[in-house]
Structure 1
Amino acid sequence: MLEPGDDGFDALLAHFSPRLLVRALIAIDVERVGSSCGFGVPLYEYLGERDQLVRWAERKGEAGLAAYMNEKNATSIDGLPGLSRRS
């Protein structure tokens, strides 16, 4: 797991489209990939990205986001170590 400020974080992040509020990147080794025909997958119309996260983050501000992440992301729901503390 790489967090902002870790060695290699920015280089790995450059492979993805810009996103607001990237908390961490997880590098994995894929050993097997499966696929299906997709015949049972329904069709849908893409309407766009949701904006709830952006609006929520704007209301929180930088200090509020750091406090939220420190409280909510320090451990996983399984009690495992989570993200480093933000200032």
Structure 2
Amino acid sequence: MGLRWKTIPDDMRAFIEAQKVFFVATSPHDGRVNLSPKGLDTLRVLDERRVVYLDLTGSGNETAAHVTENGRMTMMFCALSGDPLTLRLYGKAELIRPDNPDWETLRPLFPDLPGARQIFRLNVESVATSCGWSMPVVTAMRERDELVNWASGQSPDQIEAYRLANNVVSIDGLSTGYVSDDF
């Protein structure tokens, strides 16, 4: 049976922090739902109401477009080993880029990963679990290094060119906010 809370309980915080992969879902008011898998050492639980993750340069920037438009975000964590459990965090997210004063406080929480683009802070409004009984048990897991290797092989100018070509507009034509007067 699933449980619900308004804040992240300590045992659920420990579960979140132990996961090697998590998923981020966002949606514009009118358009496609986006669901992105995330990994590496990019997630931090700040307290019972706030979670942040470091977003790396990738193929698109849908999450930024949706958060800029309406802030809605759901994060999902699934136990791929141990006891079955699925946990979701629901709330409003904020986009934090290097020009945001919070960048200087939050960025040092994460390792120096190449291609770091922005940080998302989820202000948690509710927490819910479900059984996770249908999730597979994964016996061996390793982190992929393709994204880090790709970004490491790019100069800052090449990463910026990639972002300008691929991360400025969502697949629904929404601005990601990447190019603006205040960035």
Note whether the superposition's TM-score is higher than 0.5.
yes
**1:28 aligned to 2:128?**
no
- Hey, what's the Cα distance between the residues in 1 that align with 2:122 and 2:140? 29
Give 3-state SS (helix, strand or coil) of 1:35's partner. strand
TM-score normalised according to structure 2 size? 0.40
* Uncovered stretches (5+) of structure 1, i.e. residues with no partner: none
Shift of 1:64: 0.7
* Uncovered stretches (5+) of structure 2, i.e. residues with no partner: 1-94
When residues 7 and 46 of structure 1 are mapped into structure 2, their CA distance, relative to the original with a 3 A threshold, is farther
TM-score normalised according to structure 1 size? 0.75
| Greater share of residues in helix | 1
Task: For 1:54-73, list aligned pairs within 5 A.
Answer: 54-73=148-167
Query: Which residue in the other structure is 1:8 paired with?
Result: 102
Map Cα deviations across residues 29-79 of structure 1 (whole Å, 9 max, x no partner): 221221112222211034321111122123332211111011211122222
Shift of 1:23: 0.9
| Greater share of residues in strand | 2
- Hey, what's the Cα distance between the residues in 1 that align with 2:172 and 2:104? 28
Identity %: 31
Q: Which has the higher contact order (CA 8 A, sep 6+)?
A: 2
How many pairs are equivalent? 84
Q: What is the Cα-based RMSD across aligned positions, in Å?
A: 2.0
- Hey, what's the Cα distance between the residues in 1 that align with 2:156 and 2:114? 12
